């Protein structure tokens, strides 16, 4: 059972898959029916889809994952046409029209697909981010576990909700009008999944004119990397140190912050041209510290003298619970203080180290945070 599951090819969420379509014509412009069209994924050498043109010379190949394809068209009496570098992004509908030349089918004409200047097959407005190439080359804040929102910050039509990256807005729409997804599988709630950016091939955001299968205006999807016919491995280490940063304006002393982010990844074929794997281990160690402020009793208050509170606004008057009369000058007689309470105070409540009655105790508190994650898929 375990072996069977390992050898199964993964199924992508249907919403994240893409479509190739086009028209096949001859040199005179006449459409050619019955042409066999095939899309081969270059990195795996797998023929992902085949189709035949209809009476109008049109073909369509849905259900393709984001990848680089080679498209071929063959028909008796015509040279075999090959279109290289057909890049498909997540959830894209791309048109690739092909012109066949008269000749032997054993002859071949190869061209490279031009980049789409205008999207003619869909009315969506959005952006794509090639995370595999660009994420670690840009000064993007965040880390391997929270980098998706950092990527969204640089995409057009995406704005940050004031003070909260957990609720990005798309084209001015509220955060409740945004869905997120992983490999096309929709999540109804933002922040319901943790994405490791080392394993992300592409981040796609659609802000306007979303198609009917999506219930909300905005949608962003993270597309995972996958294995290929070549073995690849990568090791990386990223370091963040407070010694290179500035002190917060309100801090008496700068808290020491260290981030250690480690990544190991490997990918390749299990069976050449058939089954592939991708694996990633990520570790993040944060021996962090932070500066905190709180309010504690002043030295006078610890001895029962609360006269400082009379000068506050509004003034605070201490009432004797036995007589229901204010203590003179807000001072509690020493004989009225509980020895037990005094002992607990000395043992558990620190003395102030800053002036004033409010936020008069500042300290640096450690909060180490270690996260480790491993992902493997085929």
- For 20-52, how does the pLDDT look when each residue is reduced to its tens digit (9 = 90+)? 999 999 999 999 999 999 999 999 999 999 999
pLDDT at 10: 45
pLDDT at 8: 44
pLDDT at 4: 43
Sequence-distant (6+) residues with CB within 8 A of 172 are: 159
Looking from the CA of 202 toward its CB, the CA atoms found within 13 Å total: 21
- C-alpha–C-alpha distance, residues 111 and 201, integer Å: 26
Confidence label for 121 from pLDDT (cuts 50, 70 and 90): low
Sequence-distant (6+) residues with CB within 8 A of 318 are: 306, 309, 326, 327, 330, 332
* 2-112 CATH pick, 2.60.40.1120, 3.30.479.30, 3.40.640.10, 3.90.120.10: 2.60.40.1120
Q: Which residue, chain included where needed, has tokens 């003619």? A: 120
Phi first, then psi, for residue 199 (nearest 5°) are -100, 10
- C-alpha–C-alpha distance, residues 143 and 145, integer Å: 5
Sequence-distant (6+) residues with CB within 8 A of 79 are: 100, 101, 102, 103, 104, 105, 107, 108, 109
Cα Rg of the chain (Å, integer):
32
- C-alpha–C-alpha distance, residues 148 and 223, integer Å: 11
- What pLDDT, in 10s, does the model give residues 58-73? 999 999 988 899 999 9
Does the pLDDT value for residue 155 go beyond 60?
yes
- C-alpha–C-alpha distance, residues 157 and 132, integer Å: 22
Burial 353-363 (b: 16+ CB within 10 A, else e): eeeebeebbbe
Average pLDDT over residues 165-193: 69
Q: Which fold has domain 125-224?
A: Ferric Hydroxamate Uptake Protein; Chain A, domain 1 (2.170.130)
DSSP string, 172-234: TB-GGGEEEEETTEEESSTTSS---GGGEEEEEEEEES--TT-SSSEEEEEEE----SS-EEE
pLDDT at 16: 66
Q: Is the peptide bond before 314 cis (omega within 30 degrees of 0)?
A: yes
% the chain with pLDDT above 90: 41
Residue 204: how many CB atoms within 10 A of its CB? 23
42-43-48 Cα angle (round to 5): 60
Does the pLDDT value for residue 139 go beyond 90?
no
Average pLDDT over residues 161-171: 65
Does the pLDDT value for residue 143 go beyond 60?
no
pLDDT at 134: 65
Does the pLDDT value for residue 2 go beyond 50?
no
CB 249 within 8 A of CB 181: no
Average pLDDT over residues 268-283: 91
- C-alpha–C-alpha distance, residues 93 and 6, integer Å: 31
Does the pLDDT value for residue 185 go beyond 80?
no
Q: Which helix (H) or strand (E) holds 127?
A: strand 125-129
Domain ranges of the chain: 2-112, 125-224, 232-292+366-377, 297-349
Residue 225: how many CB atoms within 10 A of its CB? 18
Burial 236-246 (b: 16+ CB within 10 A, else e): eeeeeeeeeee
Min mean pLDDT across 146-160, 162-176, 177-191, 230-244 is at 162-176
């Amino acid at each position: 059972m375990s072996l069977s599951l390992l050898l199964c090819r993964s199924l992508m969420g249907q919403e994240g898959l893409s479509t190739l379509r086009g028209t096949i014509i001859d040199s005179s412009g006449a459409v050619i029916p019955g042409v066999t069209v095939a899309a081969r994924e270059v990195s795996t050498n797998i023929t992902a889809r085949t189709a035949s043109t209809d009476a109008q010379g049109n073909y369509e190949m849905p259900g393709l994952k984001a990848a680089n394809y080679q498209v071929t068209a063959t028909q008796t009496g015509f040279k075999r046409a090959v279109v290289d570098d057909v890049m498909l992004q997540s959830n894209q509908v791309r048109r690739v029209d092909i012109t066949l030349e008269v000749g032997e089918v054993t002859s071949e004409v190869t061209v490279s697909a031009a980049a789409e200047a205008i999207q003619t097959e869909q009315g969506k407005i959005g952006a794509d981010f090639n995370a595999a190439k660009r994420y670690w080359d840009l000064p993007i804040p965040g880390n391997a576990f929270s980098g998706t929102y950092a990527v969204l910050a640089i995409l057009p039509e995406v704005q940050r909700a004031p003070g909260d990256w957990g609720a990005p807005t798309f084209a001015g729409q509220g955060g409740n009008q945004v869905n997120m997804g992983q490999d096309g599988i929709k999540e109804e709630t933002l922040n319901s999944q943790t994405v490791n950016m080392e394993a992300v091939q592409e981040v796609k955001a659609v802000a306007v004119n979303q198609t009917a299968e999506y219930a909300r205006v905005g949608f962003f999807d993270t597309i995972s990397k996958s294995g290929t016919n070549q073995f690849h491995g990568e090791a990386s280490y990223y370091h963040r140190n407070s010694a290179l940063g500035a002190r917060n304006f309100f801090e008496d002393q700068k808290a020491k912050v260290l981030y250690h982010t480690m990544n190991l990844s490997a990918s390749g074929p299990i069976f050449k041209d058939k089954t592939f794997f991708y694996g990633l281990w990520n570790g993040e160690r944060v021996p962090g510290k932070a500066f905190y402020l709180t309010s504690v009793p002043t030295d006078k208050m610890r001895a029962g003298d609360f006269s400082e509170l009379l000068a506050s606004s509004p003034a605070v008057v201490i009432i004797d619970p036995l007589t229901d009369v204010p203590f003179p000058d807000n001072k509690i007689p020493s004989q009225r203080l509980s020895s037990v309470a005094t002992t607990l105070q000395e043992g558990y409540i620190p003395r102030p180290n800053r002036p004033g009655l409010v936020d008069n105790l500042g300290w640096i508190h450690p909060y180490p945070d270690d996260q480790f994650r491993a992902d493997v898929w085929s």
